[in-house]
A and B are shown apart, each in its own frame.
Chain A
Amino acid sequence: MALEFRSVTKEFTTGTGQNLVAVNDISFRVNEGEFVSVVGPSGCGKSTILSMTAGLYQPTRGEVYVSEEPVAGPNAHVGFMLQKDLLLPWRDIVSNIEFGLEARGVAKAERRDRAMIELKRCHLAGFENHYPYQLSGGMRQRAALARTLAIKPEIVLLDEPFSALDAQTKLLLQNSFAGTISQTGKTTLLITHDLSEAVLMSDRILVLSERPGTIVTEIKVDLPHREEPLRRRVMPEVSDYAAQIFKHLKLEEKAI
């Protein structure tokens, strides 16, 4: 299923009554099965894009389409994941993975079956009866991915899912996420501020400007092994791509 933004603008009214334009006239398309990253400076409205795709709020102008249908509210085709794992601490891992299925009329036995499948896919077999506090940060994020995949979303939204992890865990988890996602063939939108992460994991990268966020440029990553970032990582082209994004973000000008 494809995801499309058509001239989307989102304004917020702040507490002081001012109008704040989070994103301005954004148009892009993520094709079925494609992995697209959005990078940009902090506060450029990256998360706003995600919330509008998830249907948590509506654009002020323009429209968001998921498989050619306008998004009017929370919708069953989209699963999202944040930097925080958002696991419910009072539930064990398998019940956490089932959480998304409970309001969707899936029978109890089937819920458990689907949760166990995702649990194994995300390399958490044996931990189904553990509670979140007993797991490491990386494992908790994998559990969150399992929960996201359990609802069988057509589109997966990842909002900086690796940014709270230590450097090594991050590499391993990127690898395991990339493998899982390419295996399931999901259309994926990754929001990140980590340039190399974007290069390692995506087919295409959208570079956003500072607020109000607009798309500065679009970079196609022409490298193999999208399903295995650890192999991509050693390719010399990776740093070229990162440098290219770096330039578009005009980061030198900000470095004092």
Chain B
Amino acid sequence: METGAGAPVKVAKPIMTSRRSTLLASLGLLVLVLLAWQFLPPALGVPKFIIPTVTDCLAEMKRMLLQEGLVGHTLSTALYTVLGFAIGSLLGAVIGYLLGMSEFWEKVLSPYILALQIAPKVAFAPLFIMWFGYNAMPKLLVTVLIVFFPVLVNVLQAMRTVDRDLVNLARAYNLSRWGIFLKVEMPSTMPNLMAGLRIASTLAVIGVTVGELVGGNTGLGFLISYGGGQANAAMVFNAIVLLTVIGFLLYAVLVRIEERVLHYLPKAQH
């Protein structure tokens, strides 16, 4: 009997401690890596222009803020990441739903969709610069293109696997084609759509970066190629860190939205 009464407390405690210990271990690892980064390269005699230390990077970050207009570059990259992500995923979702409703067009277009999906989208960047010049258009297009496919493919896949019995039930209840789409098919595809958007969000940063690397004079991608040209490794490191932060924030926002949208799915037990 005694063990029975004590059990719930014992169950609750390890979960709390395990959560705290994973957090502590994660932070400890970060500190370890930062320390190694700070002290190992000088100890091994690696020159600063190859691997700058943490403090070098921080100093360079301050200089970039004051002299290179870092805020403007970062905001520009963030803006085009979000814009490209929004346009690309909207197009991907709309076309995914349209193809999902027409088996004929899906079959007609699927080999080309596959081909375009396999083609490395970033390789289109120089073409877009030839066509549209050194402005924001090429990087936006690369981003839209790279974001488009994972969303399209996920939505299409989900449309194919909507429960036929649910659709029949809706038909028996006299729902129109549009009603079936709105009330059964689209909500059924939400988990896949959200998964597609999450993948797309990580790709959006790559699209913008490549667009900025190839041409243009704004954005973190530009700072990477500029810093690389000057053999300023600290600048490149800083730009990479900021790009990662942008991608991470976009991803985090999507995870929050997903939790809201898919609240009706039972939570996985850990």
Contact = CB atoms under 8 A, between A and B. Distances in A.
Contacts of B169: 80, 86
B2 interface: no
Interface stretch (A22-30, A60-68, A95-103, A185-193): A95-103
Interface string B158-187: 000001011011011111100100011001
A91 B182 CA distance: 13
Nearest to B266: A133
Contacts of B163: 84, 86
A70 interface: no
Contact of B184 (A80, A84, A88): A88
B112 interface: no
Interface in A109-156: 131-133, 151
Q: Tell me the dominant secondary structure on chain B's binding face.
A: helix
B119 interface: no
Contacts of B179: 102-103
A56 B172 contact: yes
A124 to B, nearest CB: 17
A90 B187 contact: yes
B171 A74 contact: yes
Given A86-B165, A90-B190, A55 B172 contact: yes
Nearest to B173: A100
Given A88-B184, A102-B183, A133 B173 contact: no
B127 interface: no
Interface in B200-235: none
Contacts of B171: 56, 74
B264 interface: yes
B265 interface: yes
A78 interface: yes
Contacts, number: 53
Interface residues of B, number: 19
B172 A89 contact: no
Contact of A103 (B176, B190, B265): B176
Interface in B127-158: none
Contacts of B184: 88
Contacts of A102: 173, 175, 179, 183
A74 B165 contact: no
A54 interface: yes
A82 interface: yes
A76 interface: yes
Interface of A: 51, 54-56, 74, 76, 78-80, 82, 84, 86, 88-91, 99-100, 102-104, 131-133, 151
23 contacts: A56-B168, A56-B171, A74-B172, A74-B174, A79-B172, A86-B165, A86-B169, A88-B166, A88-B183, A89-B265, A90-B190, A99-B173, A99-B183, A102-B173, A102-B175, A102-B179, A102-B183, A103-B175, A103-B176, A104-B173, A133-B264, A133-B265, A133-B266
